Structure 1
């Protein structure tokens, strides 16, 4: 695979062994509040898998995806992620093969380019080919490899990576466990997963409507990770203020069991 490779055709968001009209069982979660039922985007629970896949792809292929990097800067998510990497709360030092899942407009990839080891192999995947085109144009670097792929069917060998970053994409899975199992499959034993996900707060509910996704509570997501052999090793917050206000979403490191 060359660094100038055009994005490959993407596969569906739906899970390979299930027809598009069937919903997979949802992972254990707390009851949703009335506020969440009213405000959160309901399409992920209401639409069939194919319809939801098409809805998300069209959303990101269009104007919303084109504005994603500006929204990430305005929300401070992109600069705050860079701060976590510089302070090594998200520690990619010494990692030689890094997979960025849901690369989007390059919100995490931008920082990996400057903060990962110079000889580290960087792979960026996204369901949307158009988002990968935007990311590559924005990065202005031939270093990353770009691959259009479904996170529930990753086109990589077992144990191919010693680090995976996954920013604001797991919330597009009704049940996170199939994607988590795939991440565990491509991670080396002892490898780290750094995930950022939308939390079930007031702000998270509004974000879910804007970006057509669901939210998670910490207990639910932590349990799903443990079931998939990816126990959390640390919870991370952008700042102390974010922790106190329960803002900034869920951020954690999980390590694949040896």
Structure 2
């Protein structure tokens, strides 16, 4: 009950476009300016580094990467240290000011910094073999459209790393600070499946985080191409299969 009182509910109360503008202004302002420090204090940034360096989420062989919600570069900086020097890299964020902060911080010429909306990614289908999305999807009232967009631009064999806020008391405090929602772990994973993505691994920052169920929801996802092909066949005019038979597995 207390968690529900603490949690920010503007995302459910406001029209989405108004909420999105509110979030952009929030991150353009002082909150965005202190995001780097906040990531260090919360240990999110060093823990992300440990996750990537330890190859719990392995990016070393990836050739085309998209970092959604690059923010102040707290995920971006670690990725750049681990990927091949010739890899193509896009840093993507709703806020142009946050991208400028990221550019100044990482001091690396490789990323292409692009501002835009996760709901309408300005990239062709199957453009990236690796996508990271850290603490962004909780800024959507419904995660499925954003998950579908990431699935659309993900190449076959590629992976998506999602980090998002869980519906714990600590998550509710985060929600209040950063004007976002929280997700129930099981329901979020169900949303991923509905978006045509498959859970490859449930990740944790450390054994302590896993034992105490801390640190939010971290999942590695892949495209569920078998499911997508099956669904396409059931909707095809030439298909002899019925939807019930095709989807019962």
Question: TM-score, normalising length from structure 2?
Answer: 0.89
Equivalent residue, structure 2, for 1:3:
none
Equivalent residue, structure 1, for 2:136:
169
Equivalent residue, structure 2, for 1:7:
none
Equivalent residue, structure 2, for 1:135:
102
1:1-258 to structure 2, matched below 5 A, reads: 34-258=1-225
Q: CA deviation at 1:175?
A: 0.2
8 Å Cα contact 1:189-1:257 kept in structure 2? no
8 Å Cα contact 2:198-2:221 kept in structure 1? yes
- The structure with the largest alpha-carbon Rg is 2
User: Secondary structure of the equivalent of 1:142?
Assistant: coil
Question: TM-score, normalising length from structure 1?
Answer: 0.86
More helix by share: 2
Gaps of 5+ in 1: 1-33
C-alpha distance in structure 2 between counterparts of 1:238 and 1:99, whole Å? 21
User: Secondary structure of the equivalent of 1:205?
Assistant: helix
Q: CA deviation at 1:229?
A: 1.4
Gaps of 5+ in 2: 226-249
Q: CA deviation at 1:37?
A: 2.3
Q: CA deviation at 1:205?
A: 0.3
Q: CA deviation at 1:188?
A: 0.6
User: Secondary structure of the equivalent of 2:92?
Assistant: strand
